[in-house]
Every structure is written in C-alpha cells, then in structure tokens.
Amino acid sequence: MGKILEQLQAVVRGDEKIAPIAKTLGFRLTHIEPGAATIEIDVDERFWNPMGTLHGGILVDIADAAMGLAYAAALNDDETFTTVELKINYLRPFKEGHLKAVAKTVHHGRTIGLVDCEILDDRGKVIARCSSTCLTLRGEQTKGRGF
C-alpha cells in the first residue's frame, strides 16, 4: 500500500484532515481504495444559484475531489498527478439534501488515466455524471506537489 492511500484511509477514519477546500464546502471523504473514492456533502440554501437550486460548481467540486482522490489512491510513492481535462453532464436539478460523488478509475496507464464519477441523491437518482483525464507526474514534475 502506498503512502497516499495510507494517508487517505486515515482521513476516512478521522485521524487526518482532508484538503482545506473540504472544510470550506463541508464535504467528507467516506470511502477510499485504489481507483475508487466517495465524497459526501449535505446541501442547503447556502449552495443555491439565483434559480434556487444547487449551483453546478458545487457538483464539479465534489466530483473533481472524488475523481482526484480515486486516482491518487492508486499512485506509487514517487508519483503525483494533475487533472488535464474534466467534463460534467448535469442530468437533473437538485435543491437540498444529501449527495454522494462516487468515482471509479476506468483506465490507469503509465501516463494517462481516465476516471468517471456519478453524483447520486439519497434515492439513488443520478444528478450528474462527470469524467476526468489525469496525467501522472514523476521525477522533477513532482517537486512541490503531492500529499
């Protein structure tokens, strides 16, 4: 098991803190394994757009976090990564309640990876689908990056 996975498992247990953005938005890492992660958030009016529904940027944030952590959990100790592309499809509006962003790595090559994510409400309805292309970094590229 790599050190990134160990650190993320400590976050799930509550022994470590996740990134500051999680505290700002109030989301939690609730599951992690190599190539898979789940982020959960409780949504209320503080996240609403002018139309009175959840702002799409919040969905992007939780999906990006889940996909990035899923990918990072499978990296070797001498590797890190960056996101090079992210796409989201908004499928239904959401106002308030509990959401889960469930990410799974579809492909993890030597250099490029693809991760998919579904954001689900408490009834299991898909609110949005997202995909991300990740670039694995090694050597000098990892300076100043990582966990």
Q: Is the pLDDT of residue 123 over 70?
A: yes
* DSSP designation for 144: T
Mean pLDDT, residues 66-86 taken together: 95
Listed in sequence order, the DSSP H helices in the chain are: 3-13, 20-25, 56-72
What's the mean pLDDT when you consider all of the chain?
Answer: 94
Q: How do residues 2-50 score in pLDDT, each as one tens digit?
A: 899 999 999 999 999 888 999 999 999 999 999 999 999 999 999 999 9
Report the C-alpha gap between 130 and 30 in whole angstroms. 19
Q: What is the pTM of this model?
A: 0.94
